[in-house]
Amino acid sequence: MTGNARPASALDPAIAARLKRSADGLVPAIAQQYDTGEVLMLGWMDDEALHRTLTTGRCTYWSRSRSEYWVKGDTSGHVQLVKSVALDCDADTLLVKVDQTGPACHTGTRTCFDSDQLPLGQ
């Protein structure tokens, strides 16, 4: 698959009608550890990635850099088993509560948000 060409999706039309997507057809998806509330990472989903996530129980994202779908953990073994998926009040962001196996970040850390704390009050 090249460019931003993505296949038609089997996402439930009622869900698809509610989503507010970016200009490139994507919705940010925040992955959060279901039992601790720890924010793990942010990925991007289109309708098909969301459909796959809802139906397989594993997080599927759209890679903006590679222009392809990827299932979290297929390469690394660090899978995200989906516990719930929610839309925010504006229907423009997804919150995916998962049970994360191993690190969530591609750098090998548990979360993508643990290494670059910005100073407050500056």
Domain boundaries, the chain: 19-100
CATH topology for the 19-100 domain:
Ubiquitin-like (UB roll) (3.10.20)
59 annotated ligand-binding residue: no
Helix (H, G, I), strand (E, B) or coil at 85: strand
CA distances from 96 to 1, 67, 76 (A): 26, 21, 19
114 annotated ligand-binding residue: no
Q: Which residues pair with 60 in a beta bridge?
A: 71
- In whole angstroms, give the CA distance from residue 69 to residue 98: 18
Q: Can you give the pLDDT at residue 63?
A: 94
Category of 49 on φ-ψ map: left (φ > 0), alpha (ψ -120 to 50) or beta: alpha
Q: Can you give the pLDDT at residue 6?
A: 65
Give the mean pLDDT per block of 10 residues along the chain (122 residues). Answer: 62 94 96 98 97 97 94 94 97 97 93 87 79
Q: In this structure, are residues 82 and 43 in contact, taking their beta carbons and an 8 Å threshold?
A: no
Chain position carrying tokens 């910005």: 118
